[in-house]
């Protein structure tokens, strides 16, 4: 089977992923760069668990793939494979089958998959209580004992005010820009329940550039459920989002997001992992942008405002795995370097170790910390009190691993535009 | 000479397609010459499986069993016998300049184009190579003497006894002994360990200390100690300095089977050099096609996670490799094509004629010679002349580069990379 045949034959997206196992020449490039197999032998490596095991997987037999559960899903393997083997996608599907055959998904995994539900419970009025509880040592021991969520895992604090309420209220006060140029903003759960300041910075930066921001109806992108093998639940969320967003796309909007992984779900995972092969899914995918990608395209066409104040700052930046999987380069660096006086130090690390919900799990916490060690040391060596990363769970892990204050690139832009310190 | 029209909409000075040795070295040279460079690669390059050494010319005639010790002296003979090999495009000075430029780029590569190191391979054979990381170069067998080769049970693809026995079986004025150890903490008890994981363990002083005590007792009477190439990944120099000091005798590394730690070190170093010089790197994105109008590439289109994105530059470099690297594609009817620019590839459509009966044939496989024909400016050719004068072909994308026989692949990559810098410099100045 060669690549041309894969392109020619009318296969479903999942069949193409599955057949890509035949393109593996066992070169080991993925093993060489896999962050997980290079710190633990519990995961034998992407080549073994991916294309090699794929040949023996029979949909009608019980899965024996215990080790695939140790794949963090970071996707480095798919990126570095020179032969277009969809290793990470294959592993995600194999993990799904593993839990399907076990006929039970641990409560812990179900909870971690529901960042939205957790956010709804913990954020807002109950935030102080929820945060106190989750910071309370004995409580974390109990959580670890009952749920197997590691006592030291970097759970983010709930925000007392949700992003959506802030947006609605500021809209009611007439503070939101109305303009001919419009984008829709996919904020995701993290911005809504944990870090509304990221969304506020994004809105400020977009409006500063003359874009009216709309916040459409949206639910959790589904990625946390997808990585915890709850495909049906993830698919249901995907359909809800596609249905809501496609109407905007048809009306000429584009979709912009600050969460690297949510936007990657819209761009790619809905189709390539959840196998949603509809025209609507394609339209949503093709019109989704990471916020820095969007702003850099404005810069390329010389329509980005460049009235930046000089910041005179040297800041470490980590490009998360999920961002690299967008295959668009590293727009955040190019964008931030437009700010006079700013120097970005790009950390040489493949992964921070958290990989979504992976590093929260009791049995995987230490693996995650070992994966992230090199990154943490590099950040600490810079001596900077602030570090930058596009992806929320990576920010929380890096804050945990380094003690640095973590911000999204758009927060730095907002500051440089003089729009406020978010 | 063609003068380029300055076009403000162009985003990059040069776009390099491919992140193997040829692509990354080209990109580093150009970025260091203040060009705005983007590298787009459909995956990482074969450097990660290679020895980390730069082979320029190892054997001539290619079926000779005697490795060359002075490759430059045989270069004219080699080119005379392989008239189409890319080396015919350069004189000796250009070749040497390319090798020196590579050394300046990466640092800590020992050797010159004038002579080959003869290094023990992971099978105990002899690997002739020009430039090697200092830690590997110290394993050169030419001074002779005695060496202890140390391995670990959990590193399953590295057998000290095999290496020592094979070295001793050759008439090399060398005496090799083998020592296989269990791993100490923090990786004790593992039944399988990757070279990368082991390299990270070596970066811990306590791990090294335990090993030093065990090995020292066995190393008496041996002049050198050889290890699999796992002596540190990011802090390799630190590990080497500590070992040389503590053992009080030379310590060297032997390349392993993939994953290759010296290959990974080189990859990380080149990535870092590129970034320091302001170059950009996208790994994991496929370039779907390129448009050529009136002898100029005007645009290429790359596949991002969700759409095709046009990229423009003044110059383009094709460094996608041959069939194995994915730079050429084939089908079962015997067609071979270059998928991005659809450049002509000379080949036979009878697939039986692509191969030699022996897998490791010193004559090489004809299929390894498939690639893009170029002129002296490394521009692709068809019957009438250059197809695009702002498109440069480097490394294994070139026709007649068979990197197995003669061991010239790295030399071609490194020298064509340097040549592109000269050519682009000439055109834009």
- Are B302 and A327 in contact (CB < 8 Å)? yes
Count contacts between A and B (CB, < 8 Å): 118
- Are A329 and B38 in contact (CB < 8 Å)? yes
pLDDT at residue A9, as a whole number: 54
Q: Closest chain A residue to B260 measured between Cα atoms?
A: A32
Whether this prediction's pTM lies above 0.95 is answered by no
Buried residues in B301-310 as b, exposed as e (16+ CB within 10 A): bbbbbbeebe
Burial of A274 (0-12, 13-18, 19+ CB in 10 A): buried
| Interface test with chain B among A6, A28, A29, A249, by most B beta carbons within 10 Å | A29
As given in the structure block, the two tokens for residue B19 are: 């992140």
- What's the pLDDT band for B8 if we cut at 50, 70, 90? very low
Q: Closest chain B residue to A288 measured between Cα atoms?
A: B306
All residues of chain A having their beta carbon less than 8 Å from the beta carbon of residue B38 are 329
Residues 156-195 of B with CB under 8 A from A: 190-194
- Cβ count near B93 (within 10 Å): 8
If you average pLDDT over residues A247-269, what whole number do you get?
94
Q: How far is B348 from chain A (nearest CA, A)?
A: 18
Q: Closest chain A residue to B193 measured between Cα atoms?
A: A41
**Spatial separation of the C-alpha atoms in residues B367 and B347, rounded to whole Å:** 8
pLDDT at residue A102, as a whole number: 83
- Are B194 and A300 in contact (CB < 8 Å)? no
- Could you read off the pLDDT of B234-250 as tens digits, one per residue? 899 999 999 999 999 99
Contacts of A138 (CB under 8 A, 6+ apart): none
Please tell me if residue B259 touches chain A, with a CB cutoff of 8 Å: yes
Plot region of B320 (φ>0 → left; ψ -120 to 50 → alpha; else → beta): alpha
- Are B49 and A29 in contact (CB < 8 Å)? yes
pLDDT at residue B4, as a whole number: 28
3 state SS of A191: helix
Bridge partners of B179, per DSSP, are B150
If you average pLDDT over residues B251-258, what whole number do you get?
95
Task: Give the ranges where A49-86 is alpha helix by DSSP (H).
Answer: 53-54, 76-80
Ramachandran angles phi, psi of B118, nearest 5°? -115, 100
**Spatial separation of the C-alpha atoms in residues A310 and A416, rounded to whole Å:** 7
Identify the weakest region by mean pLDDT among A27-31, A403-407, B74-78, B392-396: A27-31
Which DSSP helix (H) or strand (E) runs through A387? strand A386-389
**Spatial separation of the C-alpha atoms in residues A147 and A106, rounded to whole Å:** 9
Q: Closest chain A residue to B287 measured between Cα atoms?
A: A327
Q: Choose among A32, A37, A79: nearest Cβ to B264.
A: A32
- Are A38 and B193 in contact (CB < 8 Å)? no
If you average pLDDT over residues A118-130, what whole number do you get?
84
- Cβ count near A56 (within 10 Å): 9
- Predicted-complex ipTM score: 0.86
pLDDT at residue B359, as a whole number: 79
pLDDT at residue B1, as a whole number: 29
If you average pLDDT over residues A9-32, what whole number do you get?
83
Task: Tell me the average pLDDT of chain B.
Answer: 91
Ramachandran angles phi, psi of A261, nearest 5°? -80, -35
Q: Closest chain B residue to A75 measured between Cα atoms?
A: B284
Contacts of A292 (CB under 8 A, 6+ apart): A331, A332, A335, A390, A409, A410
pLDDT above 80 for B86: yes
Q: How far is B70 from chain A (nearest CA, A)?
A: 32
pLDDT at residue B328, as a whole number: 94
pLDDT above 50 for B152: yes
Q: Choose among B49, B196, B281: nearest Cβ to A38.
A: B196
- Could you read off the pLDDT of B364-423 as tens digits, one per residue? 888 989 999 999 999 999 988 999 999 999 999 999 998 788 899 999 999 999 999 999
pLDDT at residue A176, as a whole number: 96
**Spatial separation of the C-alpha atoms in residues B190 and B201, rounded to whole Å:** 12
- DSSP result, B128-176: EESBEEHHHHTT-STT-EEEEEEEETTSTT--HHHHHHHHHHS-SSEEE
All residues of chain B having their beta carbon less than 8 Å from the beta carbon of residue A267 are 305-306
pLDDT above 90 for A134: no
């Amino acid at each position: 089977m060669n690549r041309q045949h894969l392109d020619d034959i009318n296969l479903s997206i999942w069949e193409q992923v599955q057949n890509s196992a035949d393109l593996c020449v066992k070169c080991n490039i993925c093993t060489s760069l896999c962050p997980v197999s290079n710190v633990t032998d519990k995961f034998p490596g992407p080549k073994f668990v991916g294309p090699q095991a794929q040949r023996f997987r029979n949909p009608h037999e019980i899965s024996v793939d215990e080790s695939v559960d140790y794949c963090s899903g970071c996707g480095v393997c798919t990126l570095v494979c020179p032969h277009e083997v969809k290793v990470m996608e294959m592993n995600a599907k194999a993990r799904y089958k593993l839990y399907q055959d076990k006929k039970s998904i641990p409560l812990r995994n179900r909870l971690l998959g529901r960042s939205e539900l957790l956010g709804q419970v913990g954020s807002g009025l109950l935030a102080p209580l929820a945060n106190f509880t989750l910071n309370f040592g004995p409580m974390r021991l109990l959580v670890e004992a009952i749920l197997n969520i590691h006592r030291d895992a970097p759970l983010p604090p709930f925000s007392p005010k949700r992003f959506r309420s802030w947006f609605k209220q500021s809209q009611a006060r007439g503070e939101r820009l109305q303009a001919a140029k419009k984008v829709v903003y996919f904020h995701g759960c993290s911005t809504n329940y944990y870090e509304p300041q990221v969304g506020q910075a994004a809105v400020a930066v977009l409006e500063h550039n003359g874009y009216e921001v709309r916040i459409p109806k949206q639910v959790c992108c589904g990625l946390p459920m997808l990585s915890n093998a709850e495909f049906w639940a993830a698919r249901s969320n995907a359909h809800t989002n596609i249905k809501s967003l496609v109407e905007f796309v048809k009306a000429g909007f584009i979709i912009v997001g600050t969460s690297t992984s949510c936007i990657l779900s819209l761009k790619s995972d809905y189709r390539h992992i959840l196998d949603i092969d509809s025209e609507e899914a394609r339209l949503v995918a093709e019109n989704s942008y990471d916020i820095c990608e969007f702003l850099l395209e404005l810069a390329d066409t010389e329509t980005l405002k460049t009235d930046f104040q000089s910041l005179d700052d040297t800041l470490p930046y980590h490009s998360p795995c999920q961002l690299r999987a967008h295959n668009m380069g590293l727009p955040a660096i190019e964008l931030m370097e437009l700010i006079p006086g700013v120097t970005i130090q790009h950390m040489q690390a493949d992964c921070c170790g958290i990989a979504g919900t992976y590093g929260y799990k009791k049995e995987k916490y230490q693996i995650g910390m070992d994966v992230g060690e090199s990154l943490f040391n590099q950040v600490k060596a810079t001596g900077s009190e602030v570090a930058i990363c596009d992806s929320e769970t990576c920010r929380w892990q890096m804050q945990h691993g380094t003690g640095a204050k973590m911000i999204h690139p758009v927060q730095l832009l907002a500051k440089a535009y003089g729009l406020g310190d978010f | 000479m063609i003068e380029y029209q300055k076009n403000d909409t162009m985003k990059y000075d040069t776009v390099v397609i491919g992140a193997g040795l040829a692509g990354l070295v080209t990109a580093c040279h150009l970025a260091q010459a203040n060009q705005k460079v983007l590298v787009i690669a459909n995956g990482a390059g074969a450097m990660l499986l290679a020895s980390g050494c730069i082979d320029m010319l190892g054997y001539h005639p290619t079926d000779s069993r005697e490795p060359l010790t002075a490759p430059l002296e045989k270069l004219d003979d080699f080119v005379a016998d392989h008239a189409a090999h890319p080396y015919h495009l350069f004189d000796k000075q250009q070749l040497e300049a390319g090798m020196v430029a590579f050394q300046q780029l990466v640092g800590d590569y020992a050797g010159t184009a004038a002579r080959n190191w003869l290094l023990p391979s992971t099978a105990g054979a002899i690997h002739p190579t020009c430039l090697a990381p200092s830690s590997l170069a110290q394993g050169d067998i030419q001074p002779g003497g005695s060496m202890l080769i140390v391995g670990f049970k959990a590193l399953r693809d590295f057998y000290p006894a095999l290496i020592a026995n094979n070295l001793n079986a050759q008439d090399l004025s060398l005496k090799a002994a083998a020592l296989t150890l269990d791993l100490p903490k923090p990786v004790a008890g593992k039944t399988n360990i990757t070279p990368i994981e082991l390299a990270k363990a070596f970066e811990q002083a306590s791990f090294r200390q335990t090993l030093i005590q065990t090995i020292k007792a066995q190393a008496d009477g041996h002049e050198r100690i050889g290890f699999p190439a796992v002596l540190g990944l990011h802090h390799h120099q630190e590990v080497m300095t500590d070992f040389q000091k503590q053992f009080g005798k030379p310590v060297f590394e032997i390349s392993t089977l993939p994953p290759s730690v010296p290959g990974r070190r080189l990859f990380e170093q080149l990535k870092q050099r590129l970034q320091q010089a302001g170059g950009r790197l996208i790994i994991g994105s496929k370039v779907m096609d390129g448009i050529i109008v009136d002898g100029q590439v005007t645009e290429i289109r790359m596949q991002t996670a969700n759409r095709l994105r046009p990229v423009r530059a003044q110059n383009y470099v094709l460094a996608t490799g041959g069939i194995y690297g994915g730079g050429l594609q084939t089908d079962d009817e015997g067609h071979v094509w270059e998928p991005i620019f659809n450049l002509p590839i000379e080949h036979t459509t009878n697939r039986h004629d692509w191969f030699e009966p022996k897998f490791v044939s010193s004559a090489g496989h004809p299929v390894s010679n498939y690639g893009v024909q170029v002129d002296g400016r490394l521009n692709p050719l068809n019957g009438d002349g250059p197809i695009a004068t702002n498109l440069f072909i480097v490394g294994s994308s070139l026709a007649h580069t068979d990197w197995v026989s003669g061991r010239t692949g790295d030399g071609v990559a490194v020298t064509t990379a340097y040549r592109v810098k000269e050519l682009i410099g000439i055109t834009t100045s």
